Amino acid sequence: MPPLLLIEDDAGDAFLVEELLQEVEKPPRITWVRSMAEAKERFTRDIQCVLVDLSLPDASGMEALRHVLAMAPDVAVLVLTGLNDAHVGIAAVAEGAEDYLVKGDVDARLLARAIRYALERKRADLAHQRLIQSELIRRENTRLEHGLLPVPLLAPGSVEHHTRYLPGRQRSLLAGDFYDTVQGPDGAIHTVVGDVCGHGPDEAALGVALRIAWRTLTLAGRHGNDALRTLDTVLRHERRSPEIFTTLCTATIEPGLRHATMHLVGHPPPVLIRGDEIDVVRGGPSGPPLGIFPEIEWKAIDVPLGDEWSLLVYTDGLIEASVDGGPDLLGTEGLLSIIEEQEGIDLDRLIERVTEINREALGDDLAAVLIARKG
């Protein structure tokens, strides 16, 4: 039985409790005090149960119990009452005690059982409180993370636009991968997909910072190297260590929707479907990831689109799936093969097939944006 604290000013009653507990199989270590002031001085973290009389020199009734509950909120509390004070014991349980015992009406077996039950109830209560707290925190995090995911700024009917976002962290909605799409006042469509190296809340926060910075720059009319250099500066100031870098792909689709300008900043090449032709965007990379070298110029890649096309921009979580659980990775060629088999890009079907090939849930973060114009 774990150590307990006995708060009892009557020496005879205290002696009786100590004698009864000596009869149990593993007698507890008992710390006996005569007042609430002494109890506060001698209470230690290893004490798991408190037996308290509600008639003390410096506290009585519910006041005494409240002092104990404030002093030891995570400890089982048993109240000791007189023969004519059973109603006080019931009130004490309503106030927060685990149980009450009537002096003179208890033996060793009953006392030991009451202490054990009180300990178990307290453990159950604490576990329930932790569960509720965890659920509340999860809900708050879910609301926060949903609020941080972007809502594309697109004119209705201009193009088809689909996104998927799958964090690798368990029980998380947000990861270091990020995406966004914004249509400018001239009708040009700007999109970005990025990947902060690493996994965890720090990387997720950095990804959100970069995504919001990109949207702000885009709405301000800053694109290409001008925007990339600013994002590089933001990354260097916001990252927690100098080893953190970020890859990304930006694409600006001109207002006529027949031509795009892209920057592949250390990022996997997008998949482009034009008519019956399925291939990755050639001509990259534009340069190294953000956060590696200062004073970098990233070259633009001109991509003719035509009248009917589909453009898939994604993070490497999609192509770094293992093939049948082995050492080989899917890669861009494997991704193209799946798209050819499925005769087009449906993000749900595509990710489902990649997951099947991986033989388990994808371990890396994944963000994907599909923009399509049908003739």
Beta bridge partners of 314: 368
Span 328-345, pLDDT tens digits: 899 999 999 999 999 999
What are the E-state strand segments in 130-255? 160-166, 177-183, 189-196, 246-253
DSSP 127: H
Looking at domain 4-132, its CATH class is alpha beta
pLDDT of residue 22: 87
Radius of gyration of the chain (CA): 33
How far is 335 from 337, CA to CA, in rounded Å? 5
Please report which confidence band the pLDDT of residue 280 belongs to, taking 50, 70 and 90 as the band edges: very high
The CA distance from 323 to 334, in Å, is 9
Domains 4-132 and 150-373 share a fold: no
Phi, psi of 106 (to 5 degrees): -140, 140
Q: What is the pLDDT of residue 171?
A: 47
Give the pLDDT of residue 264: 97
Angle at 231 between CA 227 and CA 236, to 5 degrees: 150
227, 206 contact by CB (below 8 A): no
For range 15-35, the mean pLDDT: 87
Section 100-117 average pLDDT: 84
Q: Where are the beta strands (DSSP E) in 224-336?
A: 246-253, 259-265, 271-274, 277-280, 301-304, 309-314
Predicted confidence (pLDDT) per residue in 191-210, tens digit: 999 999 987 788 888 999 99
Positive or negative, the CA dihedral 349, 350, 351, 357 is positive
- Tokens encoding 54: 């509600």
Distance CA 171, CA 74 (A): 28
pLDDT higher than threshold 60 for residue 173: no
Domain ranges of the chain: 4-132, 150-373
Q: Give pLDDT, residue 259.
A: 97
Give which of 243, 177, 249 is closest to 208, Cα–Cα. Answer: 177
Mean per-residue pLDDT, 164-188: 81
Q: Kindly state the percentage of the chain with pLDDT values over 90.
A: 52
150-186 b/e with 16+ CB inside 10 Å = b?
bebebeeeebeebbbbbbbeeebbbbbbbbbbbbeee
pLDDT at 147: 56
281: pLDDT strictly greater than 80: yes
Looking at residue 292, its pLDDT comes to 94
57-86 average pLDDT score: 86
Q: Report the pLDDT value the prediction gives residue 83, as an integer from 0 to 100.
A: 59
Q: pTM of the prediction?
A: 0.65
Is residue 231 scored above 90 in pLDDT?
A: yes
What fold does the segment set 150-373 form as a domain? Phosphatase 2c; domain 1 (3.60.40)
For residue 352, pLDDT over 70 is answered with yes
Q: What is the pLDDT of residues 109-144, one digit of tens each?
A: 888 888 888 889 888 888 888 888 777 766 766 655
What is the pLDDT at residue 104?
75
State the average pLDDT for the chain.
Answer: 89
Q: What is the share, in percent, of the chain residues with pLDDT greater than 70? A: 94
In the prediction, which pLDDT does 61 show?
84
